[in-house]
Amino acid sequence: MNRRAFLAAAGGATVCMAMPLARAVTPLRLNDTKATLLAAWQQASGNYQAGILELQPHTDGFFEVQWAIDLPTRPHGLMHFQGDDYLVIARRPGDWLMQLNLHTRTTQRTWQDSGRHLNGHSAVCGKLLFTAETDLLTGHGALGVRDRATLKLLDVWPTHGHDPHELLVLPQGCFGITEPCLLVANGGIQTHADMGRTQLSQSPMDSSLVAIHASTGKLLKQWTLDDSRLSLRHLVQHQSGVLGIAMQAHHNTEKQRDAAPVLAMLSHGGLKPVPASTHMKGYAGDIAATPEGFVVSCTQSNVVLHVDTQGRRLGITPADAACALASSGNKVWLGHKPALSKPAIELDNHWIVLES
């Protein structure tokens, strides 16, 4: 699938995901609550935008664009920065990041011209902003260390892998790490400057999860899965401390990819794949946490998967080209392709719920 394109809307009824009757599980409320979302999308003209959507449940085509700003190329990650400021970051191989103030609707754009491309995600820790990047010539993963106030590049740290994607700031004490750290998902896909996002099929993958000291860049810990063809992509931490990792399979055959899990979990017991997340065509678009565990949008198999923190499948919900997820308690907002949509915009990979 070349794009994770899906039109802006979704069914408005409360969805109770096929839960086992023997277990007391709070039903998910999927797109049944009014919400204001920061999102990014592609217009029918082909241009890209980011802006505010209003979700009105229980109506046809209920996403209404409140306002929008134009973007130079396709975006990927969205992140709360500070106060009314949010960041929008270009999809890999990206060359821009944009600071967007939701109150004044003003923007500040920073271009990447350092011999590395941006990979669509970032994290804030103290006075620093970290951006996931890849060296254009070597393909090695890097963290751009930037001044939070000016976005100026201060330093570059290795991620000890290839194709770093999402990153999180972990509280001290998580997973036996006593120092403040960043957790980085190295997707493991090796590319070349002249080939954009094209994977070098002759190169082995080295997907991993790494903990990096937030002040020095020192490698504190590294985890890998036995199956090196699983690319670790998106991260979310459950209130219990367990980390959910959405994955994408890069095996040689469709049968192998479908048999691969799309979810892994990191706990004090280590990094482990979740067998209950197989037969999803090897592709997870996004991930969010619920009181019971995690929801994963399985874009190519057209479902949303719900799994608890023990790795047990709680249920699935059909959703064409499911991707963008956000959650608050047992309420989940999902972007996917419906039968009808007004206006006809194609939502992108991620979004953020601002009010609900």
**What pTM was estimated for this model as a whole?**
0.89
Look-up: residue for tokens 């939502």? 347
Using CA atoms, how far residue 266 sits from 3, 170, 251, 294, in Å, is: 29, 13, 22, 13
Q: Are 132 and 145 in contact (CB under 8 A)?
A: no
Please report the domains of the chain, with CATH numbers, ordered by start residue.
6-248+327-355 (2.40.128.630)
* Helices and strands (DSSP H and E) totals, the chain: 1, 28
Three-state DSSP string of 277-305: HCCCCCECCEEEECCCEEEEEECCCCEEE
Q: State which amino acid sits at residue 330.
A: N
pLDDT in tens, 67-88: 999 999 999 999 999 899 999 9
The conformation of residue 204, written as its DSSP 8-state character, comes to: P
User: Which residues of the chain are under the pLDDT cut of 50?
Assistant: 1-22, 61, 193-194, 202, 339-340
Q: At a CB cut-off of 8 Å and minimum separation 6, what does 101 contact?
A: 84, 85, 107
